[in-house]
Amino acid sequence: MKQTVNSERLRHRFEIFNEIGATERGGVNRPSLSEANQEARDQLVKWFTDTGLDVAIDEMGNVFGRRDGTDDSLAPVLVGSHIDSQYNGGRFDGVVGVLGALEVTETLNDQGVDTKRPIEIVAWSNEEGVRFQPDMLGSGVFADIFDLDYARSREDKDGRTFGDELRRIGYDGERSCKPRDLHCYFELHVEQGPYLHEIGRSVSVVEGVYGFSWMNVVFEGSADHAGPTPMNLRYDALVATSDVVESVRRIAGTEGEDLVGTVGSLDVFPNSINVIPERVEFTIDFRSYDNDVVDAAVERVQREIEWAAEREGVDWEFEEIMRVDADPFADECIETVERAARAVVGEDDYIRLVSGAGHDANYLNTICPTSMIFVPSVDGISHVEEEYTEWEDIVAGVNVLYNAVLEKANE
C-alpha cells in the first residue's frame, strides 16, 4: 500500500473521538442531537479550528470546515460523512469518513500542498434516522430533497423537534442550508455488508446505490383451534406467508443478476401455540441496481402472493410503501476514485461495487458529481457495538480518499 496520510495521528483522533458516548461493550451511543452528539460536534469543531479550517454551521446543524484553495472563486471539493450513531451503535459507521477527511487536509498541511480549489469537510446531521425520521435529513435539506421547515419540525418520540433540539445543543447555525456550487463530493464509509470482507479486498470504488422497493403484505384467514380443525378446513395465514417467504428467496435467485430480497418483519395474530394463525402482516424488501429488475421482482411477488392466497383460501392485501430508483454515481468521480484505489492498494486489492444501502452521498449525487469509497465491515456487521473494520483497511481507504480529493481539488 502506498501510504501518504499519518496513520498514527488518525488513530489517535479515532480513539479520543470514540471515548465520547462510549458504551461498555465497545460501541458508541451518540444519537442525533444527544449530549454525546453535542460533545462529539464540539470535539470536531475544535480539531477543525486547531488545524486551520474555517468552521461554519448551517440551519440544519451540518458542520463544515473549509481549507482555502489558491483560487477561492472556484467551486470546492466537498468530502465528509456523519458523526451521529445508532443507539448503542458501532465506532466506525460515519466516523471513518469524517475523521478520514480531516486527516486528508492535515496531510496536505503537513506536506505544504496547496490545492487550486478549496476543500470542505462536512459532518451531516441526522444520517441515522433513529431519533428523527427520515434519515439523511441534513444532506437531504442541503440537496433540496426536503424542505427546511419540514426537516426542523420533525419530532422525536418525546415530541421534541429537530429545530428545538439543535438550538438546545448550540448547533442551530446561521449559514443557509441549500444547494450551492460544488465541484464534486466524496464519502468514505464502512461497507456495512459482508462482500469486501468475504472476497478479501481492502477498498472498493462505489459505482452507485441500488434502487429498492418496500412492500407491506397482509394475509387474513381464520383463527381456528389447532386441534379439532382438519387440514382441509384450514385457512392458515402463516402457511400462505411461508410460501411467499420462499418465493422471495426464489425470485432473488432467478431474476436479474444482483437482486436481493428479504422478508425482514413479520407479525402473527393471535400468535398462540394452539390457534391457527388468522392474520400475518409482513414486509418485503427488493433491491437491485437495475430498476427493471426491481419492477419484475415486484410483479412476480404479487403473483406469488395471489397464488399463495388462493391455494390457502385466505384474503390478501398488498401495498408498495416506498420505491426508490437506482442511483448511479458520476463516471468522472468513479474514475477518480478508481485511479486513487489503483495507486494506493493496486489492481488486486480493490473492486468496483454497488452499494445496497443508502448514504448522504445519494442526495449529494443529485446536485454535484459524486462517488464513494467503501472499506470492509468484518462479517458485514454494522449498526451494533460489535461493528469492526481492520485498521489497515481504514488507512487504505483514507489514502484513497486523499488521492481522489487531491486530483479533483487541482482540476
Query: Can you give the binding site for a copy of itself, defined by CB under 8 A?
Result: 191-195, 198, 210, 212, 214, 222-231, 233, 236, 238-239, 241-243, 245-246, 249, 252-253, 260-268, 271-277, 283, 285, 287, 355-358, 379-384
Q: Which is closer to a copy of itself, CB of 43 or CB of 262?
A: 262
CB of residue 276 to a copy of itself, shortest distance in Å: 6
CB of residue 118 to a copy of itself, shortest distance in Å: 33
Q: Which is closer to a copy of itself, CB of 84 or CB of 312?
A: 312
Is there a contact between 210 and 93 (Cβ–Cβ < 8 Å)? no
Is there a contact between 382 and 190 (Cβ–Cβ < 8 Å)? yes
Q: Which is closer to a copy of itself, CB of 200 or CB of 253?
A: 253
Q: Which is closer to a copy of itself, CB of 139 or CB of 247?
A: 247
Could you tell me the CA-to-CA distances from 162 to 137, 138, 359 in Å, in that order?
A: 10, 11, 20
Nine cell digits for residue 320: 408498495
Task: Give the dihedral sign, CA 219/222/227/228.
Answer: negative
Question: Among residues 208, 240, 215, which one has the least CA distance to residue 356?
Answer: 208
CB of residue 50 to a copy of itself, shortest distance in Å: 35
Q: Which is closer to a copy of itself, CB of 3 or CB of 272?
A: 272
Cα separation, 195 vs 296, whole angstroms: 25
CB of residue 226 to a copy of itself, shortest distance in Å: 4
Question: Which SS3 state, helix, strand or coil, does residue 186 take?
Answer: strand
CB of residue 355 to a copy of itself, shortest distance in Å: 6
CB of residue 387 to a copy of itself, shortest distance in Å: 11
The DSSP result for 23-85, as a single string, is -TTS-B---TTSHHHHHHHHHHHHHHHHTTPEEEEBTT--EEEEE--S-TTSPPEEEEEE---
Q: Which is closer to a copy of itself, CB of 85 or CB of 105?
A: 85
